[in-house]
């Protein structure tokens, strides 16, 4: 491409490097072939470690909503429902999170009972049952519960039959951890966990 102009252009702007009669090389680009093909060291992937999280239940609430969804915006038929069990608790373990208040939120999932019974297949491999987040003073858990379990848990918590929640999953990394199992129990023995 050729063009002419009466203006003069600086062929060596201050942000460019030059070598002899070569054209200027912008800063940040390789200046030679050997530099261009240097092999960068790969970062070692972080080794995944597992941890147990124990929470003592202090308070809880439930909510439930039922909507009509004639246009099937949510993809589950003409109705859509939302149910949640919110638990406020205190973290007992691990020591890094000990004595922190945690908000645990379980969402109802009607598909889980069919998947657990084997009558329905999933088109994916589940990564976790929920996620724990601990950033600053905020500590939260968000996960799913089968709908049939959701019906009985509030009564058992109210009667004092369930006092602790145990999570098994990854250790916190950048403030989050995938949780692979959830366990409710009446007693907590630190030697078992």
Q: What is the pTM of this model?
A: 0.70
Q: What is the pLDDT of residue 192?
A: 75
Contact by Cβ (8 Å): 31, 38:
no
Q: What is the pLDDT of residue 38?
A: 64
Contact by Cβ (8 Å): 141, 176:
no
As beta bridge partners, residue 98 has none
Number of Cβ within 10 Å of residue 162's Cβ equals: 19
Q: What is the pLDDT of residue 9?
A: 46
Number of Cβ within 10 Å of residue 72's Cβ equals: 11
Q: What is the pLDDT along the chain (193 residues), one digit of tens a residue?
A: 343 444 444 555 555 555 555 666 666 666 666 666 666 666 666 677 999 999 999 999 999 888 887 677 666 677 778 899 999 999 999 999 999 999 999 998 877 877 887 777 777 788 899 999 999 999 999 999 998 888 899 999 999 999 999 999 999 999 999 999 999 999 998 877 6
Residue 162 in tokens: 């369930």
Rounded Cα distance between 70 and 111, Å, is 20
Q: What is the pLDDT of residue 15?
A: 52
Cα torsion 151, 155, 161, 163: sign: positive
Contact by Cβ (8 Å): 142, 109:
no
Match 């003069």 to its residue by tokens: 8
Q: What is the pLDDT of residue 21?
A: 58
- Domain ranges, ordered by start, for the chain: 51-185
Residue 113 in tokens: 């009972």
Number of Cβ within 10 Å of residue 179's Cβ equals: 19
Residue 13 in tokens: 């702007």
Contact by Cβ (8 Å): 153, 165:
no
């Amino acid at each position: 491409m050729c063009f002419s102009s009466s203006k003069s252009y600086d062929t060596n702007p201050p942000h460019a490097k030059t070598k002899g009669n070569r054209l200027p090389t912008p800063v940040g680009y390789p200046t030679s072939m050997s530099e261009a093909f240097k092999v960068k060291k790969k970062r070692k992937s972080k080794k995944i470690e597992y941890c147990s999280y124990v929470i003592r239940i202090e308070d809880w609430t439930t909510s439930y909503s039922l909507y009509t969804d004639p246009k099937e915006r949510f993809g589950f038929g003409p109705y859509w429902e939302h149910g949640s069990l919110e638990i406020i608790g205190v973290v007992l373990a691990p020591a890094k999170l000990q004595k922190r208040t945690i908000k645990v939120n379980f969402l109802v999932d009607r598909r889980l009972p069919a998947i657990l019974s084997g009558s329905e297949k999933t088109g994916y491999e589940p990564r976790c049952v929920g996620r724990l987040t601990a950033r600053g003073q905020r500590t939260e858990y968000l996960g799913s519960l089968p709908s049939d379990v959701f019906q009985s848990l509030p009564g058992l918590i109210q009667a004092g039959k369930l006092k602790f929640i145990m999570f098994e999953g990854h250790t916190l990394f950048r403030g989050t951890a995938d949780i692979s199992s959830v366990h409710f129990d009446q007693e907590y023995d630190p030697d078992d966990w």
